[in-house]
Structure 1
Amino acid sequence: MTESFLRRAGPLRGVLGLVALLIVLRYRHSKASKHVKDLSTIGRRLDDERYDFDEFDIIVIGGGTAGCVLASRLSEDPRVRVLLLESGGSAQGVPESRTPAGFTSILRSKYGYDLYTEPQAFLKDGRKLFWPRGRFLGGCSSINAQMAQYGCPSDFDQWAEFMHDDTWSWNKFRRYFNKFEKYSADPDYPQVDPTHRGSEGPVRIGYFNTIAQSSKDFVKACVNVGIPYTPDFNGPNGTLGASRNRERVSSESAYLTPEVLARPNLKVAINSHATRILFDSEKRAVGVEYANFENGPRYRSRARKEVIISAGAVHSPHILMLSGVGPAEHLKEHNIPVIHDLAGVGANLVDHPVIDISYKDTTNNSANYLVPRTLADRLKLFKALLHYKFLRSGGPLATNFAEATAFIRSDDPTLFPPSQYPQVLEDSTSGVGAPDVELLCTSIGYKPHAQSLFDVPTRALHACLLKPMSRGEVLLKSANPFDLPSVNPNYMKDLNDLQRLLRGLRLCFRIAQTEPLASHLDHTLEHAELDHRLHLKSDEELTEILKSRIETLYHPTSSCRMAPQEQYGVVDARLRVYGLKALRICDASIFPWIVSGHTAGACFAAAEKLADEIKAGL
Structure 2
Amino acid sequence: MLPESVRSILSLRTFPSLWRILNEHRLLIPTAALGAVAILFRYALSRRRRTPKSADLRRFARNLATGKGDDLQNYDIVIVGGGTAGCVLASRLSEDPSLSVLLLEAGSSSLHNPLSRVPAMYPQFFHSEYDYDLYTVPQEHAGMKRKFHPRGTETFHPYLTFFHYGAPSDFDQWAELQGGQIGASEWRFDHFNQYLRKFENFHSSEDRPLVDASVRGARGPMPCGFFANVSDGAKRFLKACGKAGIPLNQDFNTAKGTLGVNAVMTFIDPRGRRVTTESAYLTPEVLARQNLTVATRVQVTRVMFRQMKGKRPRAVAVHLKDAHGDAFEVKARREVVLSAGAIHTPQLLMLSGIGPAAHLSAYSIPVITDLPGVGSHLMDHPEISFHFRDKTKSVLAGLSHDPRRHGRFDLLATLWRLALVVQYELTGRGPLTTIVAEALAFVRSSDAPLLAKAGVTLPNPDDIEDSSTGRDAPDLELLLSPMAWLEHACGAYPKGYHFGLHEVLLRPTSLGTIRLNSADPSDPPLIDPQYLSTKHDVQVLIRGARLLANILYQHPLADMLDPSGSSDTSGLLNHDLASKSDAELEALIRDRVETIYHPTSTARMAPLEDGGVVDPYLRVYGVEGLRVCDASIFPTITSGHTVSPTIAVAEKAADMIIEALRS
TM-score (normalised: structure 1): 0.94
Shift of 1:398: 1.2
Task: Specify the code of the residue in structure 1 equivalent to 2:146.
Answer: K
Partner of 1:287: 317
Partner of 1:23: 40
SS of the aligned residue for 1:348 comes to coil
Tell me if 1:45 matches 2:63.
yes
Asked if structure 1 preserves the Cα contact closer than 8 Å seen for 2:353 and 2:360, the reply is: yes
Asked if structure 1 preserves the Cα contact closer than 8 Å seen for 2:390 and 2:397, the reply is: no
State the Cα deviation string for residues 84-104 of structure 1 (Å, max 9, x = none).
Answer: 000000111223321101012
Shift of 1:383: 3.4
Task: Specify the code of the residue in structure 2 equivalent to 1:441.
Answer: L
State the Cα deviation string for residues 557-580 of structure 1 (Å, max 9, x = none).
Answer: 000010000111000000000011
Shift of 1:459: 0.8
Distance 2:130 2:209 in 1: 39
Task: Specify the code of the residue in structure 1 equivalent to 2:387.
Answer: S
Please list, as runs of the form range in 1=range in 2, the aligned pairs for 1:90-239 lying within 5 A after superposition.
90-124=109-143, 126-134=144-152, 136=153, 138=154, 142-144=157-159, 146-163=161-178, 164=180, 165-239=184-258
Distance 2:129 2:192 in 1: 36
Distance 1:351 1:419 in 2: 27
RMSD: 1.9
State the Cα deviation string for residues 108-136 of structure 1 (Å, max 9, x = none).
Answer: 21111111111111112x111010112x3
Asked if structure 2 preserves the Cα contact closer than 8 Å seen for 1:524 and 1:533, the reply is: no
State the Cα deviation string for residues 159-208 of structure 1 (Å, max 9, x = none).
Answer: 11222321111111011111100001112322211111100001111012
Q: 2:341 aligns with which of 299, 302, 312?
A: 312
Asked if structure 1 preserves the Cα contact closer than 8 Å seen for 2:538 and 2:586, the reply is: yes
Partner of 2:289: 263
Tell me if 1:383 matches 2:419.
yes
Distance 2:382 2:395 in 1: 25
Unmatched tracts of structure 1, length 5 or more: 1-11
Partner of 2:588: 545
Distance 1:167 1:456 in 2: 52
Asked if structure 1 preserves the Cα contact closer than 8 Å seen for 2:109 and 2:155, the reply is: no
Asked if structure 1 preserves the Cα contact closer than 8 Å seen for 2:148 and 2:487, the reply is: no
SS of the aligned residue for 2:65 comes to coil
Tell me if 1:478 matches 2:511.
no
Q: 2:368 aligns with which of 327, 330, 339?
A: 339
Task: Specify the code of the residue in structure 2 equivalent to 1:436.
Answer: D
Q: 1:597 aligns with which of 632, 640, 643?
A: 640
Asked if structure 1 preserves the Cα contact closer than 8 Å seen for 2:301 and 2:319, the reply is: yes
State the Cα deviation string for residues 328-348 of structure 1 (Å, max 9, x = none).
Answer: 110010011111111100000
Distance 2:414 2:226 in 1: 27
State the Cα deviation string for residues 585-608 of structure 1 (Å, max 9, x = none).
Answer: 010000000000000000000000
Partner of 2:10: none
Asked if structure 1 preserves the Cα contact closer than 8 Å seen for 2:467 and 2:475, the reply is: yes
Cα gap change, 1:49/1:13 in structure 2, threshold over 3 Å: closer, same or farther? same
Partner of 1:5: none
Task: Specify the code of the residue in structure 2 equivalent to 1:30.
Answer: R
SS of the aligned residue for 2:201 comes to strand
Shift of 1:616: 2.1
Tell me if 1:327 matches 2:323.
no
Distance 1:313 1:37 in 2: 26
Partner of 1:406: 441
Shift of 1:265: 0.9
Partner of 2:470: 431
Distance 2:52 2:526 in 1: 34
SS of the aligned residue for 2:37 comes to helix
Task: Specify the code of the residue in structure 2 equivalent to 1:533.
Answer: D
Cα gap change, 1:74/1:143 in structure 2, threshold over 3 Å: closer, same or farther? same
Asked if structure 1 preserves the Cα contact closer than 8 Å seen for 2:54 and 2:296, the reply is: yes
Partner of 1:496: 536
Tell me if 1:250 matches 2:276.
yes
Shift of 1:13: 7.7
Distance 1:98 1:437 in 2: 29
Distance 1:428 1:615 in 2: 36
Percent identity of equivalent pairs: 44
TM-score (normalised: structure 2): 0.88
Task: Specify the code of the residue in structure 2 equivalent to 1:359.
Answer: F
Distance 1:37 1:445 in 2: 41
Distance 2:451 2:231 in 1: 29
Asked if structure 2 preserves the Cα contact closer than 8 Å seen for 1:218 and 1:511, the reply is: yes
Partner of 2:15: none
Q: 1:453 aligns with which of 493, 497, 500?
A: 493
Shift of 1:502: 1.0
Shift of 1:49: 3.5
Partner of 1:420: 457
Distance 1:454 1:404 in 2: 24
Shift of 1:36: 3.9
Partner of 2:12: none
Distance 2:200 2:529 in 1: 31
Task: Specify the code of the residue in structure 2 equivalent to 1:152.
Answer: A
Q: 1:302 aligns with which of 317, 331, 335?
A: 331
Aligned length: 601
Asked if structure 2 preserves the Cα contact closer than 8 Å seen for 1:359 and 1:530, the reply is: yes
State the Cα deviation string for residues 334-364 of structure 1 (Å, max 9, x = none).
Answer: 0111111111000000100011011111112
Asked if structure 2 preserves the Cα contact closer than 8 Å seen for 1:58 and 1:304, the reply is: yes
Asked if structure 1 preserves the Cα contact closer than 8 Å seen for 2:605 and 2:633, the reply is: yes
SS of the aligned residue for 1:302 comes to strand
Task: Specify the code of the residue in structure 1 equivalent to 2:636.
Answer: W
Distance 1:376 1:472 in 2: 45
SS of the aligned residue for 1:133 comes to coil
Distance 2:262 2:398 in 1: 26
Distance 2:359 2:642 in 1: 29
Asked if structure 2 preserves the Cα contact closer than 8 Å seen for 1:522 and 1:532, the reply is: no
Task: Specify the code of the residue in structure 1 equivalent to 2:545.
Answer: L
Asked if structure 2 preserves the Cα contact closer than 8 Å seen for 1:35 and 1:261, the reply is: no
Asked if structure 1 preserves the Cα contact closer than 8 Å seen for 2:52 and 2:296, the reply is: no
502-511 or 403-412, larger mean C-alpha shift: 502-511
Partner of 1:611: 654
Asked if structure 2 preserves the Cα contact closer than 8 Å seen for 1:437 and 1:463, the reply is: yes
Unmatched tracts of structure 2, length 5 or more: 1-27, 268-274, 404-409
State the Cα deviation string for residues 408-449 of structure 1 (Å, max 9, x = none).
Answer: 000001122396232642011111110000011111111121
State the Cα deviation string for residues 6-33 of structure 1 (Å, max 9, x = none).
Answer: xxxxxx9872334323322332232333
Cα gap change, 1:567/1:209 in structure 2, threshold over 3 Å: closer, same or farther? closer
145-154 or 527-536, larger mean C-alpha shift: 527-536
Shift of 1:35: 2.4
Distance 2:586 2:322 in 1: 46
Asked if structure 2 preserves the Cα contact closer than 8 Å seen for 1:446 and 1:454, the reply is: no
